[in-house]
Amino acid sequence: MKRRDILKGVVALPAIGGVNIAGTAPVVPPRDYFQELGLRTFINAAGNYTTMTASLMPPEVMSAIQSASQRYAMLDDVQDKVGQKIAELCKAEAAMVTAGCWSALVLGMAGVLTGTDGKKVAALPFPEQAGMKSEVILQKTHANGYHLALANAGIRFVFVETVEEVEKAISNKTAMLWFLNREGPAGKIGDKEWVQLGKKHGIPTMIDIAADVPPVENLWKFNEMGFDLVCISGGKALLGPQSTGILMGKKDLIAAARLSAPPRSGIGRGQKVNKEEMIGLYAAVERYVKRDHAKDWKTWENSIAHIKRTLAPLKGVQMEDILPPIANHTPSLKIGWDPAVVKITREEMGEKLRNGSPSIETIAWEDPNSIRITVFMLQAGQEQIVAKRIREELVRASS
Ligand SMILES: *Cc1c(COP(=O)(O)O)cnc(C)c1O
C-alpha cells in the first residue's frame, strides 16, 4: 500500500513540523455513543455516586485530557510534575495521583508499611510474614466499609473506642492510625486528638476525606493539622476524572507509596492511572481551587429555592432543607408527602422520575414517603426540569 493510499483513509491531521501538537487533534465528526449503544442518560439530582458515573468533567478538564493525549511522556515524570503542582495547590509536602480515593488508601497504606525498601514492597500483601508492622488502629464507628481498602496491603484491624483503648492497642506491630473524616463526629476521639496520638507514639496517621469538598479549605486543612497522609476522590466534587484520587502528605511516604504503584509492579499495579487522567486531575484541582465558591453556593441555593417555590403550593407536600455537615456538604432538599394525600411510595416516585422524559435520578432516604435531591451535579437550567417533573408526579399521585 502506498503512503498516499494510507493517508486517504485518515482525516486530515493538522501538523507542525510533522508533529501533531496539543489542541490540533484530528477533527472527527461527533458521534452520540449513548444513543448508538441505547444507553439511558439522565439528569443527576442524586449526587456523586459511582453507580451513576458520579460527575461530569468540565471543559477545562476535557481540554487537559485531550491535550495530554497527543504526545508521550514518561509516566514517572508526569506523576512527579503533576504531584508537585497538586501538592502546592493543597499545601501538602507531596502528592500523587491514584486510581480513586480507594487506591489512595491502598497505596498510602503500602507506603507506610514498606518505606522505600524494595524487598518490603515485593513482600506485600503479606507484611506479617516479612516481619513488617501489620496492624491499623481505627475507631469502631469509622469502620463502614472504606477501611477495607487498607486490608489490600495485608494488614489487620484493631478497633477501639476511647483514647485509653488506643494507648492499650498500640504495640510494635502498629503500622498506622486511620481516621474517616465523615465519621469524625460519630467517634469519641476527634481528628486533632488522633493526630496527637500518632505523634506521641511516632505512628503515622491517615485520613480519608473522599467526598469532603466543599469546603475547599478541606484540601489543605488536614495536611496543616498534621495528618501524615490525606486521601480524597478526584471524581466527586472536584470534577476530575472519575478514575482518579489524590494521595498527599509527607514526602517520604508519597515516595514510598509510588513504589507499589504503576509503572512498577506491586500490589497497586492494577490501579493504573495514565498521563491523561493525571493531567486532567491537575486541571480539575486548579480549577476548583480558583473557583468563586460563594457564587457556586449561591447557585445551588437558587436551584433549591426554585424547586421549593414550584412545589410549595402542593397540598400534603412538606420540604426540608438538608445540609450534610461533612461529605457532600452542599444545599440539598428532602421532599416528603402525606401518604393520605399523595398516594405514591418513594420507590414508585423514583421509578416515575427515572422512566420519565428526561430521565432524572434522585435518592431515597430513611423516611418512606420522601425523596432527596442534591443540585450540585445539575447543569445550568436543569433545576427547572427537575422541579417541573417532580411537581407533575406529585400532582398526578394526588388526583
Ligand atoms: C467515595 C469514597 C471512597 C472511594 O473513593 P473513589 O474515588 O470512588 O475510589 C472512599 N472513602 C469514602 C469515605 C468515600 O466516600
31 occurs within a structural domain: no
Output the pLDDT for position 7: 40
Cα separation, 269 vs 273, whole angstroms? 10
Output the pLDDT for position 110: 98
Output the pLDDT for position 28: 87
* Atom of ligand 1 lying closest to residue 102 CA: 9
**Of 84, 104, 107, 82, residue with least CA distance to 94:** 84
Ligand 1 midpoint to CA 195 (Å):
21
Output the pLDDT for position 8: 43
Residue 38 corresponds to which cell in the numbers above? 441505547
Q: Are residues 202 and 160 in the same domain?
A: yes
124, 130, 131, 136: CA torsion to nearest 10:
20
Q: Give the residues surrounding ligand 1 with Cβ less than 6 Å away.
A: 50, 100-102, 146, 182, 208, 210-211, 233, 235, 245
Output the pLDDT for position 205: 98
pLDDT digits (tens, 9 = 90+) for 186-203: 999 999 999 999 999 999
DSSP strand pairing (245-249 vs 94-98): antiparallel
User: What are the C-alpha distances in Å from 190 to residues 160, 161, 203, 247?
Assistant: 13, 11, 17, 21
Domain closes at, from 237, 268, 290: 290
**Residue 361: what are its φ and ψ, rounded to 5°?**
-100, 130
Q: Are residues 304 and 279 in the same domain?
A: no
171 half-sphere exposure, CB direction, 13 A CA radius: 10
Question: How many independent structural domains does the chain possess?
Answer: 2
b/e 197-226 (16+ beta carbons within 10 angstroms → b)? bbeeeebbbbbbbbbbbbebebbbbbbeee
Q: What is the DSSP string of 131-148?
A: T---EEEEEGGG-SSTTH
Output the pLDDT for position 24: 59
Q: Are residues 146 and 252 in the same domain?
A: yes
Output the pLDDT for position 3: 46
* Atom of ligand 1 lying closest to residue 209 CA: 13
Residue 53 corresponds to which cell in the numbers above? 458515573
Ligand 1 midpoint to CA 210 (Å):
5
Ligand 1 midpoint to CA 146 (Å):
7
Output the pLDDT for position 324: 94
Residue type present at position 338: D
CA 100 to chain centre: 6
Domain closes at, from 290, 319, 343: 290
Output the pLDDT for position 25: 62
Q: Are residues 234 and 104 in the same domain?
A: yes
Which residue's CA lies nearest to atom 8 of ligand 1? 100
**pLDDT by 10-residue block (mean), the chain, 399 residues:** 43 42 70 97 97 97 98 98 98 98 98 97 96 98 97 98 98 98 96 98 98 98 98 98 98 98 96 98 98 98 98 97 95 97 96 98 90 97 98 96
Q: Are residues 270 and 299 in the same domain?
A: no
Q: Looking at residue 316, which CATH number applies to its domain?
A: 3.90.1150.180
* Atom of ligand 1 lying closest to residue 99 CA: 9
Domain closes at, from 261, 290, 319: 290
197 half-sphere exposure, CB direction, 13 A CA radius: 25
Cα separation, 176 vs 157, whole angstroms? 10
Q: Are residues 279 and 308 in the same domain?
A: no
Domain that includes residue 278, residue range: 59-290
Q: Looking at residue 272, which CATH number applies to its domain?
A: 3.40.640.10
> 3-class DSSP state for residue 233?
strand
Ligand 1 midpoint to CA 8 (Å):
47
